[in-house]
């Protein structure tokens, strides 16, 4: 299987950040994250557990259910062993912060790893975004964070975020605590660590030049002496993504915006209704 | 009712026993019509809305509030979606406090966004924690919850909460003050006439909202006899916290109500397009203001659309 798409490569990079045994928390509106979680489970992290839908529903499943837009909650519930109240979600995050992995998608990220999903200021106006939800709460608690940015542009990779929602490494730089933020974009994988003090390149995706990254980043990135190329997806990874985990290509919605996304979504929805009706529900344990 | 057998034999009569004032929260029938329950929500009140983004929103009550022209509502919402946006579209809202307002995969909440950007709505951004902490403080009779979370963020600046030195460790802490809404409105799958309630699927912060709010209205897909609620592990909100119950089948449309129906993304897409193309008034006339009940709204949405989002047990 050849010819991966940018979103497939990003998903593979995201899945590789999952460690076996992790608790994988899914926030709002993140189909790429859920595809990456299922991929990690199906490959190197079979003992990772999913907390889906803003951390509410704890799922144990060997056979990943196909990723869904329309039946996200229904599929999660079919495979759930527990449903948390909101306080229980945070009790889990606080107790298990060291082994939780959660993929955030920031609207803006700066060189220190601060994130913004709240508002964009321009010289003339302000754009109100949905809000950071739980990101500002938990970002400093995770020793290991992963952000993903399908669009690597200067308006996303900014020198300073317009609004500090999620916290980057500034506090860790002062206190000396260990923290690493991995950032996966359409062009490469990057990392932010207190020791280096700002964003650096981990690897560049095949076919992408250093110039492209520099041109599309709103600040100076640290460039290592030897630049490594991102390992492309394997045949197995691609087959799992395309045939098992996300046969409807829901992942691609995150690469689109505006009317383009709406059109793609409408095409998907009818297929989803048909697929859901024909997929058998997972077998329940009987007494 | 447990007293019924004895009552019919003339052993006890309910009227002969004075009911303690507080008892009205415990075992009093609380079944109201949507209209009657909506009268518990006054102009300018601090109103909490349950559910999460496009999941299990009490939309029938939102429509009723719009039809009866509520004004200057102050909303507290954990994750807002079509609920906040529709109230924003008709100018029923003075302020919004929320950790998120949007339509998930469909993007920004169009009318809410415009109203905030133009200054018509005062918006205060919260996080999951800041809402939870405020509600917990109320529910747990604490003056505030002390925590170091959010220090260094612009969210905390916007909230304007005070910081102080911990008397135990000298560490800088935030005092998360009480949040106490006047009324909370939740949509549930099932409850009985006393208000014993079962919320399934994404619970979000609904149970805590009920515990911290002065009055609680539960709209439910189905009101069932109290005998059917005798599954303690599934009844997650007892009647003591509930003041009114309303039967409202499909009352969360176009948001979802697991396991009965999923969200109507088709409807929400056309809603967003109406707003984008300057046709919001047409939408409101066709679906909200121009109909006299939520049943009529559902009829306007149409049988086929409803059928499409219904989920049969597989």
Chain A, 224 to 243: residues with Cβ < 8 Å from chain B are none
In chain B, how many H helices and how many E strands?
12, 11
Q: How far is CA B164 from its chain centroid?
A: 33
Summarize the confidence of residues A130-157 as an average pLDDT: 95
Question: pLDDT tens digits, residue range B193-235?
Answer: 999 999 999 999 999 999 999 999 999 999 999 999 998 989 9
**Residue A21 in 3-state DSSP?**
coil
Choosing among B100, B121, B159, which should be mutated to test the A contact, i.e. which has the most A CBs within 10 A?
Answer: B100
> DSSP secondary structure string, chain A?
-----HHHHHHHHHHHTPPTT-EEE--SS-HHHHHHHHHHHHTT-TT-EEEETTTTEEE--SSPPPP-STTHHHHHHHTEEEE--HHHHHHHHHHHGGGEEEEE--SEE-TT--EE-SEEE-SS-EEE----TTHHHHGGG-SEEEEEESS--TTTB-SS-SS--B--SHHHHHH----EEEEEESSEEEEE-TTT-SEEEEEE-TT--HHHHHHT-SSPPB--SSPPBPPPPPHHHHHIIIIII-TT-GGGGGG--HHHHHHHHHHHHHHHHHHHHHSPPPPPPP-
Residue contact B107–A137, C-beta within 8 A: no
Cα–Cα dist A172/A155, whole Å? 26
Distance from CA of A228 to the nearest CA of B (A): 34
Q: Quick one: which of B158, B159, B134 has its CA closest to B146?
A: B134
Cβ neighbours of residue A249 closer than 8 Å, sequence gap 6 or more: A242, A268
Which residue of B lies nearest to A283 if distances are taken between CA atoms?
B314
Report the pLDDT value the prediction gives residue B29, as an integer from 0 to 100. Answer: 87
Give yes or no for A51 touching B (CB within 8 A).
no
Cβ neighbours of residue B221 closer than 8 Å, sequence gap 6 or more: B187, B188, B189, B190, B248, B249, B250, B251, B257, B260
Neighbouring C-alpha atoms within 13 Å toward the C-beta of B125: 29
Distance from CA of B154 to the nearest CA of A (A): 5
Three-state SS across A188-218? Answer: EEEEECCCCCCEEEEEECCCCCHHHHHHCCC
Q: Are A75 and A65 in contact (CB under 8 A)?
A: yes
Nearest residue, CB atoms, B100 vs list A73, A133, A166:
A133
Q: What does the DSSP 8-state code read for residue A100? A: E
Residue contact A74–B136, C-beta within 8 A: no
Cβ neighbours of residue B15 closer than 8 Å, sequence gap 6 or more: none
Report the pLDDT value the prediction gives residue B23, as an integer from 0 to 100. Answer: 58
ipTM of the complex, rounded to two decimals: 0.94
Cα–Cα dist B153/B204, whole Å? 24
Residue contact B101–A170, C-beta within 8 A: no
Distance from CA of A174 to the nearest CA of B (A): 13
pLDDT at B291 over 60: yes
Q: Which residue has the higher pLDDT, B14 or B165?
A: B165
Summarize the confidence of residues A33-55 as an average pLDDT: 88
A-B interface: how many C-beta pairs under 8 angstroms?
154
Distance from CA of B289 to the nearest CA of A (A): 27
Choosing among A30, A117, A136, which should be mutated to test the B contact, i.e. which has the most B CBs within 10 A?
Answer: A136
Residue contact A281–B106, C-beta within 8 A: no
Residue contact B150–A137, C-beta within 8 A: yes
The whole-chain average pLDDT of chain B stands at 93
Cα–Cα dist A73/A80, whole Å? 10
Q: Are A52 and A38 in contact (CB under 8 A)?
A: no
The sign of the torsion formed by the CA atoms of B36, B41, B47, B53 equals positive
Which residue of A lies nearest to B116 if distances are taken between CA atoms?
A128
User: What is the percent of chain B with per-residue pLDDT over 70, rounded to a whole number?
Assistant: 91
What is the CA angle B29-B33-B39, rounded to 5? 100
Residue contact A53–B109, C-beta within 8 A: no
Give the phi and the psi of residue B101 in degrees, each rounded to 5: -135, 115
pLDDT at B21 over 80: no
pTM for the model: 0.93
Token pair 């030049």 is at which residue? A209
**From A174-178, B47-51, B166-170, B255-259, the region with the lowest mean pLDDT:** A174-178
Cα–Cα dist B281/B285, whole Å? 6
Instruction: Go through chain A and tell me how many residues it has.
Output: 287
Report the pLDDT value the prediction gives residue A75, as an integer from 0 to 100. Answer: 85
């Amino acid at each position: 299987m050849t010819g991966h798409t940018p979103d497939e490569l990003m998903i593979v990079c995201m899945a590789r950040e999952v460690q076996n045994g992790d608790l994988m928390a899914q926030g709002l509106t993140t189909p790429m994250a859920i595809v990456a979680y299922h991929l990690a489970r199906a490959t190197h992290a079979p003992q990772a557990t999913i907390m889906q839908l803003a951390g509410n529903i704890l799922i144990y499943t060997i056979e990943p259910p196909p990723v869904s837009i329309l039946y996200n909650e229904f599929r999660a519930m079919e495979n759930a062993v527990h449903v948390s109240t909101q306080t229980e979600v945070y009790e889990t995050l606080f107790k298990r912060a060291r082994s939780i992995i959660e993929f955030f998608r920031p609207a803006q990220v700066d060189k220190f790893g601060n994130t913004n999903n709240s508002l964009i200021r321009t010289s003339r106006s302000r754009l109100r975004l949905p809000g950071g939800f739980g990101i500002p709460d938990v970002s400093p608690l995770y020793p290991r964070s992963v952000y993903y940015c399908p669009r690597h542009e200067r308006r996303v990779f900014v020198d300073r975020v317009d609004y500090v929602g999620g916290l980057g490494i500034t506090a860790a730089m002062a206190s000396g605590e260990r923290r690493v933020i991995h950032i996966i974009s359409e062009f490469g994988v990057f990392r932010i660590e207190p020791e280096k003090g700002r964003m650096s390149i981990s690897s560049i995706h095949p076919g992408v030049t250093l110039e492209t990254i520099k041109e599309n980043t709103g600040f100076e990135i640290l460039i290592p002496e030897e630049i490594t190329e991102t390992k492309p997806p394997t045949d197995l990874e691609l087959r799992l993504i395309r045939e098992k985990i996300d046969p409807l290509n829901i992942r691609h919605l995150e690469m689109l915006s505006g009317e383009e996304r709406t059109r793609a979504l409408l095409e998907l929805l009818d297929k989803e209704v048909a697929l859901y009706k024909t997929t058998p529900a997972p077998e329940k344990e009987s007494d | 009712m447990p007293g019924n057998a004895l009552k019919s034999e003339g052993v006890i009569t309910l009227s002969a026993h004075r009911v303690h004032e507080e008892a009205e929260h415990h075992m009093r029938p609380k079944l109201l019509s949507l209209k009657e329950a909506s009268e518990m929500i006054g102009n300018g009140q601090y109103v909490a809305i349950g559910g999460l983004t496009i999941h299990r929103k009490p939309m029938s009550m939102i429509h009723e509030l719009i039809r009866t022209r509520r004004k200057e509502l102050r909303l507290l919402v954990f994750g807002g979606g079509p609920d906040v946006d529709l109230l924003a579209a008709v100018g029923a809202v003075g302020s919004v406090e929320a950790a998120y307002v949007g339509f998930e995969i469909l993007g920004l909440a169009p009318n809410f966004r415009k109203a905030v950007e133009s200054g018509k709505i005062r918006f205060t951004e919260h996080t999951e924690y800041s809402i939870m902490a405020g509600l917990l403080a109320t529910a747990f009779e604490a003056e505030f919850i002390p925590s170091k979370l959010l220090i260094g963020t612009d969210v905390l600046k916007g909230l304007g909460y005070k910081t102080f030195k911990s008397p135990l460790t000298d560490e800088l802490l935030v005092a998360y003050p009480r949040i106490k809404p006047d009324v909370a409105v939740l949509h549930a799958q099932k409850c009985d006439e006393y208000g014993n309630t079962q919320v399934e699927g994404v619970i979000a912060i609904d149970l805590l909202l009920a515990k911290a709010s002065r009055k609680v209205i539960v709209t439910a897909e189905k009101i069932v006899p109290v005998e059917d609620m005798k599954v303690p592990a599934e009844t997650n909100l007892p009647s003591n916290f509930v003041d009114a119950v309303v039967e409202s089948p499909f009352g969360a449309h176009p948001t979802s109500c697991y396991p009965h129906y999923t969200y109507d993304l088709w409807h929400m897409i056309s809603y967003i397009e109406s707003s984008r193309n300057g046709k919001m008034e047409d939408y409101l006339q066709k679906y909200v203001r121009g109909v006299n009940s939520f049943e009529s709204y559902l009829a306007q949405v149409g049988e086929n659309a409803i059928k499409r989002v219904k989920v049969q047990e597989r």
